[in-house]
Structures are given as structure tokens and as C-alpha cells.
Amino acid sequence: MTTPTLTSLAAKKGLILGVANEHSIAWGCARLMHAMGAQLLTTCQNEKSLRYVEPLTQPLGIPLVACNVEEAGSLEQVVAQAVAQMGSLDFVIHSIAWAPLEDLHGQVIDSSSVGFARAMEVSCHSFATLAKLCAPHMTQGGSMLTMSYLGADEAVPHYGLMGPVKAALESLVRYMALELGPRQIRVHAVSPGPILTRAASGMTGQTLYVDAGCHAVA
């Protein structure tokens, strides 16, 4: 059997949101894309997270900054830094998800309106905001990816509040693809499959789960 050849990403420039640790989907993407020649800027949740993530990114020379999407101006600052560093963008990976534990562990019918809204803001609407900020810098077209899960399409026990949130995210992707397609910007939701990540560990009783990165359930 021949070993498949990886497509070169030399000269491609990307922003990857959501590195939490060595098990993060975002980190797996960053590590592979760096190996394929891409120039990157990566983010983790906050300043406290930097000390845990920097040992991963520093040896590869991948720039890392903190980005809490709930803080006003945080996404704007990160995108501005990425453009200042690289000049333009070819791809963006949105690998963040979060919900309050009390809402995540309870029944969907018991979820609070505040918790639901925060989960939607962090896990879903932040992707739309990111797209709005990045699209003007994808002048030659590009790709935008976010992370979903089977629980968006089927009712998965113990996935709870994140199911409706991921369903909204997938619908958002379809509308973003419709709007950005004429600008040669592709938009996709990826469902990587069962991965034991930091955020996934917050889902009690869950045996099949997937996480999207830096806003780990805590």
C-alpha cells in the first residue's frame, strides 16, 4: 500500500481558534497544517490557558494568543493581529464550544434562558462574527470550518443543551455558505467523531462525544 501524499499548504495563511491542550481538535489541525507548510496564528481561551498551550506551540514556532469570544473586542483584536502578521487569510478554523455546567448536565427543558443564550453566543454566533471579520481578508477566496457532532441531527443521550446549539451551528453554516459562496469562500461544518477532549469530559454518562476546543466545559 502506498502512503498518501499530503497536499501542500505552503504559502497558505490561517487562523485556528480553540487550542486547549494536546488532545484538542484545534491542536490536531494546527499541528498537521503546520507540517503541511501553512503559516498560522492560533488561540486559546484566556491568559491563564497560555501557560498550558504554549509548550505545544512554541517548539513549532506557531504564534499563540488568548481569545475569549465573550469579551467585547476580543475577536476583532485576534483577526487584526492575524492580518498584521500574515497580510491576508486563506482559511479559518472555529473549534470552540461552551455551555454552563448546570445547563449542560440537566434536561434541555430545564435549561436557563441565560445559559442557553451564552452557549449559543460562544458555540454558534461567534462563528458568524468571526466570518464577518475574516471575509474581507480572504480576497482570493478561502475556507471556513467549524466543528459539529451527531447530536445536531439526532437526540443523543447526555448531549443535552449542546444538541440544539450544534443544530443551530449547522444551519448557520448553510446560510453562511450561501452568502459567502459568491466570494469564493467555502463554509463547512465538520463532525470529527468520538474524541476524548477536555470539553467532552464535562458530559456525564456520555460515551460518544466530540469537542470543539478552547472554551472547555468547566
Question: Is 149 considered catalytic here?
Answer: yes
Question: Is 209 considered catalytic here?
Answer: no
Q: Interior CA angle at 147 toward 27 and 115, to 5°?
A: 105
Q: Which of 52, 149, 175, 209 is catalytic?
A: 149
Tell me how far the alpha carbon of residue 68 is from its chain's centroid. 12
Q: Interior CA angle at 39 toward 145 and 10, to 5°?
A: 95
| Residues 14, 39, 82, 186, Cα dihedral to 10° | -20
Q: What is the Cα–Cα distance from 36 to 39, expressed in whole angstroms? A: 9
C-alpha closest to that of 154 among 140, 164, 146: 164
Tell me how far the alpha carbon of residue 216 is from its chain's centroid. 11
| Residues with catalytic function | 149, 159
